[in-house]
Amino acid sequence: MSSSESPAPRRRLSREDRQRQLLDVAWQLVREEGTDALTLGRLAELAGVTKPVVYDHFTTRAGLLAALYADFDARQDQVFTEAIDTSKATLEDRAWVIASAYVDCVLLQGREIPGVVAALSGSPELAVLKREYEAIFLEKCSNALSPFASGGGVSRAGLRAMLGAAEALSHAAANGEISREEAQQELLATILGMVQRVKS
């Protein structure tokens, strides 16, 4: 083999960069082939690494699913926090931030997040992880909305109803059943109704 045919030397990625690469490939795999196709072996094949590399990062398929959900949640949390920090301190602005940021985060991830969420819900351990992330999000929503509710707070039941609406509307928008704007406006109305119902 001549020097012109020699492959370029492979650059060794840091552990953090390798994990980012593996997560990006995993998201692509779920997007193109669905969650059922997501295995550690298939991920190794598509990422061009050995199976032990993937197992070192995620250990099990459940660990990979948990990492994907954590990755999605981290992006969602960053967008939400930045939007809340730059919003006006009014009920309408805070409610709009929650509605628009939630829908946009799901749409940014596309159709693959519902499959990951469904897979998480199928495992008791992963369902606990999902609830933990949800609790953090709901606490942030409560902090953002409570100043506008009588009694200084919104109910846990109301927050759970809001989250259910947010998930359903976002997934409907991701599947093309409704538009992004319809999802955001309906979620905005749900949030405003929840807080105003508490106030009355």
Q: pLDDT band at 120, cuts 50/70/90? A: confident
In terms of domains, do 78 and 139 share one?
yes
- Could you tell me the end-to-end alpha-carbon distance of the chain, in angstroms, rounded to an integer? 80
Residues 77 and 171 in one domain: yes
Same domain? 108 vs 50:
no
Closest by CA position to 32, among listed 104, 105, 107, 112: 112
25 with 111, same domain: the answer is: no
User: Same domain for 34 and 128?
Assistant: no
Return the CATH number at 177: 1.10.357.10
Tell me the three-class secondary structure of the chain, residue by residue: CCHHHCCCCCCCCCHHHHHHHHHHHHHHHHHHHCHHHCCHHHHHHHHCCCHHHHHHHHCCHHHHHHHHHHHHHHHHHHHHHHHHHHCCCCHHHHHHHHHHHHHHHHHHHCCHHHHHHHHHHCCHHHHHHHHHHHHHHHHHHHHHHHHHCHHHCCCHHHHHHHHHHHHHHHHHHHCCCCCHHHHHHHHHHHHHHHHHHHHC
User: Can you give the residue range of the structural domain that contains 117?
Assistant: 69-199
- The token pair that represents 113 in the structure block: 């997040």
In tens, the pLDDT along 52-110 reads 999 999 999 988 998 998 888 888 888 888 989 999 999 999 999 999 999 998 888 76
Q: Are both 25 and 123 inside the same structural domain?
A: no
What's the pTM value of the predicted model, to 2 decimals?
0.75
Q: Are residues 163 and 80 in the same domain?
A: yes
Are 148 and 122 within one domain? yes
Whether residues 113 and 167 fall in one domain: yes
Condensed to tens digits (0 to 9), the pLDDT of residues 152-167 reads 789 999 999 999 999 9
Q: How many domains does the chain have?
A: 2
Tokens representing residue 38 in the block: 């997501």
Residue 3 falls inside a structural domain: no
| Closest CA relative to residue 133, chosen from 80, 74, 174 | 74
